[in-house]
Amino acid sequence: MKMKKQLLFLVFFFLIFLRPSFGACVCDIEGGPFFQGEQITMGCYCTAQQEKNKAYTMTWYNTTGDAQEIDIGVTPSSVLEYFYETHLIPSDADLGIWTANLTVDSIYKTDEDFNVTNSTLLDEMFLVGEAYDKTIDLGTIVSGSAKLKHLLYGYVTNARCDISILSPTRIPLDTKTTSTTGGDGHILEIFDTVDWNRHTCCANDLEGKQLIWYVECICYANCTSNTDGAGCCIGSDNKALITQYLHLDRELPITVNENHTPMDGFGRLSLTLYVIMYFTILFILGKTWDIMIFQKQNLNNPNNLMKVMMIWLGIWMLLIPLQHMNLIIDHSYANDKVVTLFETLYTVHTWLAYILSAFMLIFFINNILLYLGVDIIKTFRGNR
């Protein structure tokens, strides 16, 4: 009996404590099937803490299991953050099922299969001639172009295309709708100067991270003329209206450069003004707080209650200039000690806001009890 209990304990220990050591990386190849001469992208993310900042290899195997390409890299420093590798399928590639294998830290392995075909009967289109910014700088114009093609119809014109930039966690940072033009199914999209760090999705700096150009195009089957609008497509081979439903979704990875620029005069002026604003408002709030707490003014007074609310609101509003100060520092060649100082100031102020919020809650509860005729402080002192 004792032996059984020990065995059960070992099994329980193994399941609970050793389970996280198994691989938890997930990979996906968007779209497909794929065609000879086309670029393919596999995106992966890991969910286990021990798989962060680990060396990985991504190997692309053909139908006979021969390695065609081996990519190496390091997994992101955050879980659930995507990383990508691409492979250009040879123009004479074997047709059939290929495999992409991800191996993290020489231990955790994930396979993803994809089909390489040359069938003209499929409703899948593909991209050729991709020309896009594979590395970008935040705050600059980002552009990309490609040509849309189908094996039966040739280049596809007037297809409706939605083009997005996806964050490392695949949240859309920017999306635009366009259509293929010219006789060669040309797609061109330009994203204006945008600082995606300010997007609500991205609490962390995007520099050094991988984003995705996500391209989705469609041709409708129920069009009577290409003048019906985007999605009523024309094929270049016979210049005729395409009456078959066609679709494409492809991913093109891009990397954000880590190139902070030196702080210019405007940046220094902005930082100085934010610092002055922050400490001035903090001083005013501190004086008001001194009056409220240490002089023990009556909180039943509506004016005093208004002061309490203004203090609480002011403390939280001060996080805004602190955020702007950190953004200015993040985008410059600031000394690490300066970066740490402002990050620490932000953290301390956030905790201060939480603590003061707790005080405000206590004040309001006490005020309500006083209104109801209950002096909880006097009662507490009386019991002692």
**pLDDT value for 108:** 78
Q: Cβ of 334: how many Cβ atoms within 10 Å?
A: 19
The pLDDT, as a whole number, for residue 89 is: 94
The residues facing 56 across adjacent strands are 73, 104
Which residues, given as ranges, of the chain have pLDDT below 50?
A: 1-22, 203, 293-295
Structure tokens at 202: 């991205």
- pLDDT number for residue 365: 75
Q: Are 43 and 212 in contact (CB under 8 A)?
A: yes
Task: Supply the pLDDT for residue 130.
Answer: 86
Q: How many helices (H) and strands (E) does the chain have?
A: 6, 18
Residue 107 Ramachandran class (φ > 0 left, ψ -120 to 50 alpha, else beta): alpha
Written out in words, the top-level CATH class of the domain with range 119-259 is mainly beta
Which backbone phi and psi does 328 adopt, to 5 degrees? -60, -45
Which string of b and e fits 256-266 if b means at least 16 CB within 10 Å?
beeeeeebeee
Looking at residue 199, what is its pLDDT? 61
CATH topology of domain 25-117: Immunoglobulin-like (2.60.40)
Rg (CA), the chain: 30
User: Contact at 8 Å (CB) between 266 and 333?
Assistant: no
List pLDDT tens digits, range 313-328: 887 888 888 777 777 7
pLDDT the model gives residue 14: 39
Tell me the pLDDT tens digit for each residue of 244-283: 999 999 999 988 887 655 566 676 777 778 888 888 877 7
Residue 41: what pLDDT? 94
Q: Residue 364 to residues 8, 291, 317, 382: CA-CA distances in angstroms?
A: 53, 17, 20, 22
Domain boundaries, the chain: 25-117, 119-259, 265-383
Distances (CA, A) of 250 to 83, 145, 324, 345, 350: 15, 13, 36, 43, 42
What is the C-alpha separation between 268 and 328, in angstroms, rounded? 9
Specify the pLDDT at position 250.
Answer: 92
Question: What pTM did the predictor assign?
Answer: 0.60
